[in-house]
Structures are given as C-alpha cells and as structure tokens.
Structure 1
C-alpha cells in the first residue's frame, strides 16, 4: 500500500546561498523527483504521489517562489532553479534518480538533467514546450486566439505590466488558469483551489510566478547551449488528450536521443487532477520497465 498524501513528511533545506526549499518526501524504493508547474506547488501531486510511493521514494519540492519555499526577487531562470534542486538532492544523498517535470517544472527538469545526466536514469516531461525548441511558437498570437488560448505566455514576459494587471485579482486569474485547456472545466477541487489562491496571494508570490515566464529568453539561450549534448537517458513526453497530446514528444526530440510519447486520455493540461489513474499508470509503466 502506498502512503496517504497526508503521510508524506514536510521538510526544508537551504540551498544556493539562502534559498529555503520546502519539500514533501515519503515512500520506499528508488528515488523519484517530481517538479511541479505554476500556479501550483507540491500539492499538485496529491493524486499520484500515493500511487507512486508504492514503488518509489517520492521527493516533491516546492520550487523557489512557490508553496512553502523562499520567494526571492530574482533567480527564476530555469538554470538557477535547477541548481536549487541539484543542491537539494545532493544534501539528501540521492545519486541515481528518476525525474518527472510538469509544465514549467519540465523546464527545470530539462536544465537539471542536461547539466547532470549522470544522476538520472529516466526523465519525463509533461505538458511543456521547451524555450529555444518550440515554446516561442506556442506563445505567438494567432488569428484563432480566444479567452482559452495561452495569451499569458506572451503577456507575462513583461512582468511589471502583468503584475499590475493581476495584483489583487489572483482569484480571478486562477479561475481562468484552471478553466483554460482543461478537459471538463473543473480541473481542481474547491478546497485545493482555495489553497492555490492563498499561496499565490502571499507577498511576492504572484510576481515570482510571472517571472517564471519572463525568463523565457534566458531559458532559450541556456537550453540551446545544453542541447549541444543531447540527453542520453530514456525520455517520455506526456500530453493531455485535450491539450498538448502527441505534440509534446515532437518538441523534445531535438534535445534527447531516446524520446517516446504518451497521451493521458480524458485530460487537458491538468493531468494529475483530471485523470490521475491513467497518468500514474503511464509513469509506472515507463519507470519500472526497461
């Protein structure tokens, strides 16, 4: 039996000088590192971490700027954020891990696995296009854009304006986030929605989330350098049926030597909230079979 999500331990580590990283950890077996997206934090793994904990020791950090971790004014390029996580796993003494990133967490996962490929047996990227290798095309406006489109990818590259527009309107912003590119327009529970609103309303948290996106140009430059040496380990790229679907795998083929794709049925962008059983089965199949 896996752990109930409430049974995962809450711990903290100090990395990269004075950055406090909060993380949840639990389970048994080989190490599996899960990196969340935005506007979520480690809570997003509540549906699949209990399933995965039957086979793995699951480590779920809150990235800088999110959840219980520090909210610094800078350092939201994915290279710096990956260094936070590298120092965390070094402190924990984990040297051979499985890695899974979701949404912007996939950007951190790519930077981390490309800089330290010897640490990771297999890597999963979910619902993300890598800056420098397709993300820029996704963020371009098109004639068929509407309220459900990814307009925020462009808007958030000007953080001062985006923060001005949404400061004090965090609830409305998250209502839109969890509605757009969802499969059934109700991706998260009311209880978890309130927690995400609380977290993003903390001082500096909205700006931090926007800065994740504003770092796209630096991320693209860094990724192109890292991609000069393609990822050597097996890679799985996962999309939701009503969102990225098979397209995610095509976006990661230029940066890795062994890429397979998978689609989570009856799910949009919010894979773990919309179809956790299917997502967990896909991850377990990939991580536990050669």
Structure 2
C-alpha cells in the first residue's frame, strides 16, 4: 500500500513539474519551418522569435545545416525575429545546377529577407556561411546593421592562400564524377575528416547525434554534388571578394576564431575589409565553435548582437 502511495505521489510531483515547465516556456516562441521561393531557388528556413529589435540572419557552413543554430536561436528569440536558412544546395533547400558562388548565394538570402519584409538585418555566418555573410554585407551595406564572421577565411582577401587549413586544401578541388563515386555511401567517412581534423579535440567536437543527422542530410541524392560546388566556386569568390574589399565596410564586425583553427588569420583578413572590427579568439577551440566551445561562443554572440560588443574582445 505504501509503495502504491509513493508511486502516486511521484506521479503527482512529476505532473506538477511538467506543468511548471510548460508555464515557463509558454511565452517562448517555437522554432517554425518554412520554405520560400526566391531568386530562382526554394529556400528552407527556420524562424523563431518576435520583438522590435533588428532581425538576425544565421548562415551555416559546410557539413552542417540550419540545424547548427538551434542552441543560439533559443538565446536570441526573446527580442527579435531570428531566421536560419539552409543555403542553396544544403538541408531542405533546392539544388540548382549553378549559383554556388557566394555573391549569388548572398543574393538568395537578400531576396528572402526582402520577401519577409525586413529592411535591415544583423547577419552571422560560420565557415561557408561567413563568406555568404560577407558577400551580403558587401553588396547591401546600407541594409546590414552588424556582421559576425565565425572561423574560416575570405577567398581573395590578403594572403588568403596561406589560410590555416592549407594542409587540407585537397578538398577544395575534390569535386566531379570520380569524387562523387568515391564518397557515395561513405559520406560519414568523408565528413569525419572535417569534424575530427578541424577540431581541437576530435572527441569533443560534433556530437554523435549531429554526426548522424548531418550524414543523413548530405547523403540524400544530389546533396554531396551541391556541397562540392561551394568549393568549386572559390576562384570566382576570390575574384569577387577582391573587388568587394576595394570599398571597406563600416558597420560593426565581430570575428570569432578558434584558437586551434583560424586564430589571428581571420581577424587580420577582417581588418582589410571593415573599419570597425572586434576580434575574439575562442580559447581551446578548433573550427566548430558552436559545438566545441558553446560556453564561450554563445555569450559572445548574444552580447554582440544585443549590445554591440562581445563578452570579451581580444583584438
């Protein structure tokens, strides 16, 4: 009898706890999924939040999708709309045959922003996403309130061919029929190179659940070919970015770089393209800042987006 009463009390306590959690989160906007037809492509995007603050656009990198931003969205959506698109070719966005230069990809995002009715945004990009973010700001400087570049490099800017991952430059040219055949059915083996070798500690990088998720995403028909096109377009990106850099940006720019990855290199590049750069080296982290060092990365992003200054500026 006492055992039955204990079970009942436990059940009541559990229900009360769940009700309390529901009440706490009742006013938290849910992350919604949408698709929009813009600039000749179908873009899938996540959207959350409400409020009067300037909307934020979050742009993912290679070997990931908009899914990577979920932990950050939860920290930003109390004051503004937050939008995280899948770039053309990735996630659930369409896969056109061309248009993987970052100038065109930025035009995709700009068309989405316009379609949603926003005239000014803050923009954040990681990896390939930072290249798209820069191309967006360079083409529409009056429509960007601030920009964040997260760990990679800018093709065509400064001494870019000595980028930190030069030892792994082989994958820049890894596209075409033979590479596609080599990775077919072995997508995870290919991505493990990025997730492990670009991390400070392979055992403290991408979670197992995320590895499985991204592998499934990119293993779908046509996705690997589209992803390879991001690198195939680098010569065009270098030409475009060299031209953009002739007119430096003036909006606040935050650079977050992994101590064991881009380091000072990306900060040095950023200062060649913007007159108002703040740099933060994320201690002990490799390339995957959101996954390897969320305790440093997320507060720095939230502080910069909300207040115009990161939690800790080092450069």
TM-score by length of structure 2 reads 0.83
Deviation at 1:139, TM superposition (A): 7.7
* Among 160, 171, 178, the residue aligned to 2:188: 171
* Among 170, 182, 186, the residue aligned to 2:199: 182
Cα RMSD (Å): 2.2
The structure with higher relative contact order (CA 8 Å, sep 6+) is 1
Q: Is the 8 A contact 1:13 1:20 kept in 2?
A: yes
What residue is the counterpart of 2:216 in the other structure?
198
- Write the distance in 1 (CA, Å) between the matches of 2:181 and 2:267: 35
Q: Is the 8 A contact 1:2 1:51 kept in 2?
A: no
What residue is the counterpart of 1:239 in the other structure?
257
In structure 2, relative to structure 1, the CA distance for the partners of 1:66 and 1:140 (3 Å cut) is: closer
Deviation at 1:3, TM superposition (A): 9.5
- Write the distance in 2 (CA, Å) between the matches of 1:140 and 1:194: 25
> Is 1:105 matched up with 2:129?
yes
> Is 1:15 matched up with 2:38?
yes
Once the two structures are superposed, residues 248-268 of structure 1 have per-residue CA deviations (whole angstroms, 9 ceiling, x without a partner) of 110111111111211222321
Q: How does 1:3-42 map to 2 (within 5 A)?
A: 7-17=30-40, 19-29=41-51, 30=53, 31-42=55-66
Deviation at 1:108, TM superposition (A): 0.6
Deviation at 1:5, TM superposition (A): 10
Deviation at 1:289, TM superposition (A): 2.4
> Is 1:228 matched up with 2:246?
yes
By percentage of residues, which structure has more strand? 1
In structure 2, relative to structure 1, the CA distance for the partners of 1:2 and 1:52 (3 Å cut) is: farther
Unaligned runs of 5+ in 1: none
In structure 2, relative to structure 1, the CA distance for the partners of 1:2 and 1:79 (3 Å cut) is: farther
Q: Is the 8 A contact 1:2 1:53 kept in 2?
A: no
Deviation at 1:237, TM superposition (A): 1.1
Unaligned runs of 5+ in 2: 1-23, 309-315
| Alignment: residue pair count | 281
Give structure 1 regions of 4+ aligned residues with deviation exceeding 6 angstroms.
1-6
By percentage of residues, which structure has more helix? 2
